[in-house]
Amino acid sequence: AQTVTQSQPEMSVQEAETVTLSCTYDTSESDYYLFWYKQPPSRQMILVIRQEAYKQQNATENRFSVNFQKAAKSFSLKISDSQLGDAAMYFCAYRSDSGGGADGLTFGKGTHLIIQP
Amino acid sequence: DSGVTQTPKHLITATGQRVTLRCSPRSGDLSVYWYQQSLDQGLQFLIQYYNGEERAKGNILERFSAQQFPDLHSELNLSSLELGDSALYFCASSPAYRRPEFFGPGTRLTVL
């Protein structure tokens, strides 16, 4: 079974600074997808960014980018120019593609990101 | 707003009871997923349906069942409820396999 580990229960960053959230995963599969989801106090789960394992290029979405290291099974999220609205729980998630994508997400336990004004 | 709707938003019930949670996916999405978020277990995948058929099962208890109807809405049935079933239940949808999931706002279930 796949596992996802987020080793930082909580991170704090000053507004406008850059912060990196760590995620490692364990899998024996070669085809899979990785995601970062954000959960603000409203509890809504919001997709931040997605990475396909077969793509070597790291995904970026505006101020959010990832550092995907397939051999190391590492998938970190970098948030640049942090804003107060970025304060939330961030979950790293994995989905296998071995069943043609018919599978649910495996989540890490989350990192609580605090933005200091 | 993700386009996924879930009802009810909150549900309070007693142990031993049965409840039904409802989910309407985004327009055109064929896949529906159910997840449970609790303090003890974190976020767990329960079950997936694609165009009316069950496609994948996660950590879903035998007391729980789900179905997806011809209009693509889905229902999660929870029976013989226990205190430990208190959690936030999310529905998510995607247009097809290999596409990202978009989550609904969740149903908060409290079992007293």
Interacting residues of A64 by C-beta distance below 8 A, sequence separation 6+ = A36, A48, A49, A77, A78, A79, A80
* A14-72 residue pLDDT tens: 999 999 999 999 999 888 999 999 999 999 999 999 999 999 899 999 999 999 999 99
Token pair for residue B91? 């529905």
Q: Distance (Å) from the C-alpha of residue A98 to the closest C-alpha of chain B? A: 11
Contact A15, A115 (CB under 8 A): yes
Band (pLDDT 50/70/90 cuts) for residue A99 is low
Is B58 in contact with A104 (Cβ distance < 8 A)?
yes
Residue type, B44: Q
pLDDT of residue A24: 98
Is A45 within 8 Å of B42 when comparing Cβ atoms? no
Residue B23 CA: distances (Å) to CA of A31, B74, B77: 30, 5, 12
Residues 18-77 of A with CB under 8 A from B: 33, 35, 37, 42-47, 50
- The pLDDT of residue A22: 98
CA distance B16 to chain A (A): 27
Token digits of residue A62: 């505006």
Q: What is the pLDDT of residues B75-95, one digit of tens each?
A: 999 999 999 999 999 999 998
Q: Smallest Cβ distance to B101: which of A97, A105, A106?
A: A105
A chain contacts of residue B35, beta-carbon cutoff 8 Å: 104-105
Cα distance from B105 to chain A (closest Cα, Å)? Answer: 5
Structure tokens at A50: 């997605």
- Is the CB of residue A90 less than 8 Å from the CB of residue A36? yes
User: Which chain A residue lies closest to B104 (C-alpha atoms)?
Assistant: A44
